[in-house]
Chain A
Amino acid sequence: NAGVTQTPKFQVLKTGQSMTLQCAQDMNHEYMSWYRQDPGMGLRLIHYSVGAGITDQGEVPNGYNVSRSTTEDFPLRLLSAAPSQTSVYFCASSTIQGYDYNSPLHFGNGTRLTVT
């Protein structure tokens, strides 16, 4: 039981390049989400999903795309990287029991992205 797995751990991109951050969970969680963590600002929600085929925007969605084709995977795509997207990205998941969102979030170890 690996929990939430993120790859890669580190990535350096040049401005304008695109890439996909991978996230997989093996806990059969319905809810998955992506956050970015910047110094002094806490974590901010980028996108989330409540199940396969369902995604929605969070607080800071611009410049990012997501899809959820399976319960296990929730990749985050950077369409055209910008220096402002330099950050640490975290994927998280949790169960949803009916409409009960009162389950703890499980986090991956993060991807540290630098855009030059």
Chain B
Amino acid sequence: KQEVTQIPAALSVPEGENLVLNCSFTDSAIYNLQWFRQDPGKGLTSLLLIQSSQREQTSGRLNASLDKSSGRSTLYIAASQPGDSATYLCAVSNNNDMRFGAGTRLTVKP
């Protein structure tokens, strides 16, 4: 059974700092990995999707990497801003079945 773990559960940083969020999974036979952002009381918004054949994806200040062999992904956020404060979740997919981590709650202090 696929298990997805995100460490740390919560992170607080000062504005402007570069930071890394971690995601690990137990079964490397994945189709893709997605990183999502969730604001309080809201649904999830897809930030980046990395296909199994890819190593990384970039969007603006966000960069996500994927290492299937070690079962790890990282989300790098450059020059963090207070507006980046949210919960970030990763999810791994094997076609129809998607498994989520519990998320990292990020707070960026002005």
Chain A interfacial positions (CB closer than 8 Å to B)? 4, 31, 33, 35, 40-45, 48, 50, 56, 58-59, 90, 92, 99, 101-110
Contacts and interface: CB of A to CB of B under 8 A. Distances in A.
A99 B51 CA distance: 14
Q: Which 6 A-B pairs have the closest CB atoms?
A: A107-B43, A104-B46, A42-B100, A43-B100, A42-B102, A107-B44
Contacts of A41: 102
Contact of A45 (B42, B43, B49, B97): B97
Contact of B98 (A105, A106, A109): A105
Interface in B11-49: 31-32, 34, 36, 41-46, 49
Interface size classification for chain B = 20 to 34
* From B4, B97, B98, B102, residue with most partner A Cβ within 10 Å: B98
B81 interface: no
> Which secondary structure dominates where chain B touches chain A?
strand
A105 B34 contact: yes
Interface in B39-86: 41-46, 49, 51
A110 B34 contact: no
Nearest to B101: A42
B49 A110 contact: no
Given A42-B89, A43-B89, A106 B101 contact: no
Contact of A90 (B44, B96, B101, B102): B44
Contacts of A56: 96
Contacts of B102: 40-42
A96 B49 CA distance: 15
